[in-house]
Structure 1
Amino acid sequence: MLDSTIPWFAAIIGLIVAIVLILKKFNPVYSLFFGAIVGCLVGGASLVSTIDIQISGTQSVIGTAIRVLAAGMLAGVMMESGAAESIANAIVTKLGDKKAILSLALSTMIITAVEVFIPVAVLIVAPIALSVGKQTGISKIALLTALSGGGKAGNIISPNPNTIAAADGFGLNLSSVMLAGFIPALFGLATAVIVANLIKSKGEMVRDRDILKKEAKELMALGKALIAPILSIVLLLINPIGTLLKIEVLTNLKIDALYILPFASVVGTIAMGHANKISEYASSGIKRVTDTVLILIGAGAIAGLISASDLSVQVVKLIDTIGISGTFLAPISGILMGLAVGSTSTAVILATGSFGQAILDTGTSSLAASVMVHTGSIVIDSVPQGNYFHISANSMNMTIKERLKVIPYEMCVGGAMTVVATILYGFILN
């Protein structure tokens, strides 16, 4: 093992190398590993110590990785069964054209909150949004602002990989982080609706060629579509409710997402009448989270480098010298990582792994840190180097130039959630 601490500047160099490679479209997993190796060697570690540091770091994220794999099963069920589409259609139909923007934002928020990944949520709701936009005269920029804003709001209260990473990064229960994000999420939804309404006549309108004619298909009943997500959320909330109500039996009942999410997936699939497709849904789900798990392992290598360095000590000293509140380190780290890598889950993984200890050393509680890092990571994560930027552009039939115009409005939504989270958890409740 390493006999001396790696200097802080070597850890920074390793992190920068990894981020630059990611920006250059190099494979993110190899980018993270290469950055970790460079940082260790620059910091004076031997080849043997470098391997030890990376193994130690990757071992630290295994708990998060297996929970993400478990979450993949529920994601597969919601996406492949048509349950997510049924939920979206029900919301839009119920609220009607007069509340079109609210219905679209709420749709993406809810189906993202029930464990559908945000790019997929936008793909599901986009055809509905384009049809509604054509009928009501709402621009494509406003439509995507509503969809993306609602998705961001749902993303911080869902059992998605980013929320799992935020919880595990600070040693918390997943349900606690999901609940803590609820108030910021409501502000995010409200901001998305307000901003989208303000710009609904701005930009290019929906054209006939934007609307793809699809064969009508029968959607499953809403009640069936909701069984799996409601069951998973109810079971995940048992511990927090027990703690809140001081019911010892519920508090001591250690329920983990590792088995709750697959259990809810199986029960929900059977209730839908699709028992013979459980294997198919599970296979689809695990394929969708494989990339995230691999990135987790790569981020673990960087985390190992940071842990072996004195970076966290130096960051705390710098904050003390400048005189600003150390509380701001949490949202700032999330924002910067989101901007760098263009992925919410990767941003959370990097922010918690690189700056987690430094954030806690400023006196910030674990729950406050997780919520502020989490909300910070969604402020500027929809940038061109990330997949979400291009998937959402294609779903709305937008050019790159048109899609770029949406980013400032998405930043307003993410910024509102981050400000609320920072005030509420960083100062009032910390």
Structure 2
Amino acid sequence: MSTCGALIGLLLCIVLIIRKASPVYSMIIGALVGGLIGGLGLTTTVTSMVSGIQALVPAIIRILTAGVLSGILIRTGAAASISQTIVRRLGVKHVFFSLAFSTMLLTAIGVFVDVAVITVAPVALTIANRHSISRLKLLLAMIGGAKCGNIISPNPNTLIAAENFNVPLSSVMAANVVPALIGFVITVWVIVRLFPDKYSSKIEVEDSGSNESNEDLPPFWASMTAPVVTVLLLALRPLVDITIDPLIALPLGGFAGMVAMKRWSVLGDSLEYGLGKMSSVAILLVGTGTIAGIIKASDLNSDLLALLGSWHISDFMIAPVAGVLMSAATASTTAGATIASSSFSTAILNSGLSGVWGAAMVNASATVLDHLPHGSFFHATGGCVEVPIAQRLRLILYETWVGLTLTVSSIGCCKLWIWLM
């Protein structure tokens, strides 16, 4: 299949999403049109689309079970308790650090990146109202922290990257710990401070995420039980060679947190909330799988290698370039990491790069342009602080700097690891 067909399919998908069409149907239509234009024929096009979906089924199952952990963290008030404790302890003097750290921690322990920002937003805007701090600047700190946490999390993007490269989730999470910390420091002390401090207004924002009042939130130690148990279970493989699949580890961590918090009355609501969140991702991945299957069947892999060669760029750069391009096409970390890892994993591994670092760099680079306006993240994060689209657009350049910092740091750590080995 010609590269032209795959690119036309991607472009059509982007146009449809921008025109407010369903992202899932946009990807399916883009995949179908791309395959036909690329010369596959109707039967082969459909076969390639189905093949792309089938490759994601194991990851989709794990993502659905991850909803247990995510739902419990949100609906029990654990996520709100963690974020409020951090902000309260660090104080207003360190507000950008505390907000970024809160969203980084929440995403790192398994809360969706947009949900993490929405959860912390009411705390941030209370401070903004009292101290006249720019809400866009506060939002940038929260988004930057969330991006940093997202590359070391058991969230769908990391799960799928690990699955497509056939490497342990815990190893992919660990590989990006240093890049995440570097990104966090650059975000808080450089990028946020470069943003013009002239957009400020007092607004009221609804609390979203937990149904609990501030006084009824679980204690911090109990709130941290779920993520701590989850991380310990996932760490058993690299530490003592005992493999506990994320399919088991994530729900077990969630239930351990429920035991510690004694919030059994909201168990059903937590499971329903988590399943609802993950179901939307699972459905998105069905559409993502179709276009990933078409890209994999096309000459895009070989043409990208040829392009990199003509630019005198090493094959080493396939992973970050693929992640950046696919995040731009889908405006989604999950979809970007899915298409990049599914379509280019073979070429990346053939270049001599290990599966762990290939997955880590794809995951980091998928944060570079996942905030573009044709994606849901752009609108969800802007909506939680009630800023108009025109103002929300001001953050795109700075968000891109955060993603590029994470990508460059991941590339640097990979090269350092290879040199040391």
Q: Which residue of 2 aligns with 1:230?
A: 228
Code of the aligned partner of 1:309? S
Q: CA deviation at 1:215?
A: 6.5
CA distance in 1, matches of 2:334, 2:104: 17
Q: Secondary structure at the match of 1:379?
A: coil
Q: Aligned partners of 1:322, 1:91: CA distance in 2, in Å?
A: 46
Which stretch has the larger CA shift, 78-87 or 364-373? 364-373
Residue identity in the other structure for 1:429: I
What pairs with 1:243-322 in structure 2 (closer than 5 Å)?
250-251=240-241, 253-322=242-311
Greater mean alpha carbon deviation, residues 294-303 or residues 59-68? 294-303
User: Do the aligned partners of residues 182 and 60 (structure 1) sit closer, same or farther apart at CA in structure 2, a change above 3 Å counting?
Assistant: same
After TM superposition, give the deviation of residue 175 of structure 1 in Å. 0.9
Match of 1:36 among 31, 36, 41: 31
Q: Deviations along 1:170-211, whole A, 9 cap, x unmatched?
A: 11111111111111110111112113652476122242x346
Q: Distance in 2 between matches of 1:124 and 1:307?
A: 37
Distance 1:360 1:222 in 2: 42
Q: Which residue does 2:14 correspond to in 1? A: 19
How many angstroms does 1:164 deviate by?
Answer: 0.8
Work out whether residues 266 and 278 of structure 1, in 8 Å CA contact, stay in contact via their aligned partners in 2: no
Select 1:378's aligned residue among 367, 370, 373.
Answer: 367
Amino acid at match of 2:325: L
| Separation (CA, whole Å) in 1 of partners of 2:6 and 2:196 | 48
Secondary structure of residue in 1 paired with 2:266: helix
Q: Name which of 328, 335, 340 aligns with 1:346.
A: 335
Residue matched to 1:401: 390
Corresponding residue number in structure 2 for 1:3: none
CA deviations over 1:321-369 (Å, ceiling 9, x no partner):
3321122222122222222222111111122223333333333322222
- Within 2, Cα distance between the matches of 1:304 and 1:215? 46
The reply on whether 1:179 has 2:179 as its aligned counterpart is no
What is the alpha-carbon distance in structure 1 between the residues aligned to residue 71 and residue 417 of structure 2? Answer: 39
Cα distance in 1 for partners of 2:186, 2:128 equals: 19
Cα deviation, residue 313, structure 1: 2.6
Partner in structure 1 of residue 187 of structure 2: 192
Query: How many residue pairs get matched?
Result: 415
Corresponding residue number in structure 2 for 1:54: 49
Which residue does 1:244 correspond to in 2? Answer: none
The alpha-carbon deviation at position 320 of structure 1 amounts to: 2.6
Unaligned 5+ residue runs, structure 1?
Answer: 1-5, 242-249
Between the aligned partners of 2:347 and 2:12, the Cα distance in structure 1 is 21
Q: Which amino acid aligns with 2:66?
A: A
| 1:371 aligned partner, one-letter code | A
Kindly tell me: are residues 51 and 390 of structure 1, through their superposed partners in 2, closer, same or farther at Cα, counting changes over 3 Å?
A: closer
In structure 1, C-alpha distance between the alignment counterparts of 2:338 and 2:227, rounded to whole Å: 25
CA distance in 2, matches of 1:201, 1:8: 42
Identity percentage over the alignment? 38
Q: What is the letter of the counterpart of residue 120 of structure 1?
A: V
Residue identity matched to 1:24: R
User: 2:414, 2:321 → 1: CA distance?
Assistant: 15
**In structure 2, distance between residues paired with 1:212 and 1:311:** 45
1:23-81 Cα shifts (integer Å, max 9, x gaps): 33222222222222223323333433333222222111101110110111111111111
Mapped to 2, the partners of 1:212 and 1:295 lie a distance apart of 27
The answer to whether the 8 A contact 1:149-1:192 is kept is yes
Superposition TM-score, scaled by structure 2 size: 0.92
* Alpha-carbon distance in 2 for matches of 1:327, 1:339: 20
Deviation of 1:231 after TM superposition, in Å, equals: 0.4
Q: Of 58, 65, 78, which aligns to 2:60?
A: 65
The Cα shift of 1:153 comes to: 0.7
> Do 1:54 and 1:300's aligned partners in 2 also have CA atoms closer than 8 Å?
yes
Stretches of structure 2 that go unaligned for 5 or more consecutive residues are none
Q: Distance in 2 between matches of 1:350 and 1:197?
A: 30
2:357 corresponds to which letter in structure 1? A
> For residues 27 and 411 of structure 2, what CA distance do their matches in structure 1 show?
29
Q: How does 1:136-175 map to 2 (within 5 A)?
A: 136-175=131-170
